[in-house]
Amino acid sequence: MMSTPSGENPSRGRPLWLLVPAIAAAGLALELAAPVPLIGSLTPGMLGCVVASFVLAVLALRSPRKDIVSISVAFISLYMFVIFPENGLSFLWQVIFAVSLAILAVRFGLWFQ
């Protein structure tokens, strides 16, 4: 079995937190291309934000240093987009949520990994 010279975990070099803004941006791009509800009233932008927030929460749970903000953002996205979505939740709110997810992902990647 091969070990790294400094004894670090080899998976540490992979910045998995970059998936979070990529998933949210992909959902927003699909929303612009086809703004049709996919599941119930969930549009692609809403679904992208929910999936990206759960990816961030799972990464935060798996990290040695837990980040309560990154973990709780999954519950906030469920509340906003799935459980109690406002009628006509605007695309601007989805963009704001996706940008805040990207900021949280960068914060998580720099401080908690």
pLDDT tens for 6-28 read: 444 544 556 888 899 999 999 99
Tell whether 21 is covered by a domain: yes
pLDDT band at 57 (very low <50, low <70, confident <90, very high): very high
d(CA 42, CA 71): 22
Q: Is residue 10 one of the residues assigned to a domain?
A: no
Q: Is residue 8 part of a domain?
A: no
User: Does 9 reside within a domain?
Assistant: no
Q: Which residues contact 99 (CB under 8 A, 6 or more apart)?
A: none
Q: Any residues with CB less than 8 A from the CB of 98 and at least 6 apart, and which?
A: 21, 24, 25, 27, 28, 45, 48, 49, 52
The answer as to whether 104 is a domain residue is: yes
Backbone φ, ψ for residue 3 (5° rounding): -115, 155
Domains: count for the chain? 1
Rounded Cα distance, 64 and 29, in Å: 33
Instruction: Tell me, yes or no, whether 7 lies in a domain.
Output: no
Which has the higher per-residue pLDDT, 47 or 87?
47
- Which range of residues forms the domain containing residue 36? 15-111
Write down the pLDDT at residue 10: 44
